[in-house]
Amino acid sequence: MTLVATQADHEAIPASIFRAYDIRGIAELQLSKDSVRLIGQAIGSEALDQNIATLLIGYDGRLSSPSLSIALIEGIRSSGCNVVSLGLIPTPLLYFATHTTDFDSGVMLTASHNPSNYNGLKVVFHQTSLAENQIQSLRSRIETNRLRTGDGGFAELDIDKLYIEDICRRIKLEQPLKVVVDCGNAVPGKVAPVLLGALGCDVYPIFCEIDGNFPNHHPDPTVPKNLVALAATVLEKKADVGVALDGDGDRVGLITNLGNFVDADRMLMLLVQAIVPNFPNRAVVYDVKCSSKLGTLIAESGALPVMHRSGHSFMKQKMQEANAILGGEFAAHIFIRDDWFGFDDGMYVAARLLKILSESSKTSDELFDQFDTGFSTSEIKIEVAEERKFLLMEQLLELADFPAAKQITLDGLRVEYADGWGLIRASNTSPALLLRFEADTQTRLLEIQNQFKALLRSADKDLEIGF
What is the contact surface with Zn ion in residues (CB under 5 A)? 112, 246, 248, 250
Residue 463: exposed, middle, or buried by beta-carbon count in 10 A (0-12, 13-18, 19+)?
middle
Q: How far apart are CA 329 and CA 222, in angstroms?
A: 11
| Closest CB to Zn ion among residues 250, 287 | 250
| Closest CB to Zn ion among residues 52, 89 | 89
Clarify whether 16 is annotated catalytic: no
Q: How far apart are CA 113 and CA 123, in angstroms?
A: 17
Residue 358 near residue 174, CB atoms below 8 Å: yes
Query: Taking the alpha carbons of 262, 268, 273, 278 in that order, is the dihedral positive or negative?
Result: positive
Clarify whether 112 is annotated catalytic: yes
**Rounded (5°) CA angle 238-243-249:** 160
| Closest CB to Zn ion among residues 120, 242 | 120
Cβ 369 to Zn ion shortest distance, Å: 27
| Closest CB to Zn ion among residues 244, 456 | 244
Residues whose CB falls within 8 Å of the CB of residue 377, separated by 6 or more in sequence, listed in order: 435, 436, 437, 438, 445, 449, 467
| Closest CB to Zn ion among residues 163, 452 | 163
Cβ 89 to Zn ion shortest distance, Å: 13
Q: How far apart are CA 437 and CA 422, in angstroms?
A: 4
Q: How far apart are CA 392 and CA 398, in angstroms?
A: 10
Cβ 424 to Zn ion shortest distance, Å: 23
Clarify whether 364 is annotated catalytic: no
Out of 64, 65, 69, 112, which one is annotated catalytic? 112
Residue 61 near residue 68, CB atoms below 8 Å: no
Out of 218, 282, 333, 337, which one is annotated catalytic? 333
Cβ 177 to Zn ion shortest distance, Å: 24
**Rounded (5°) CA angle 330-356-323:** 55
Cβ 109 to Zn ion shortest distance, Å: 13
Residues known to be catalytic: 24, 112, 333
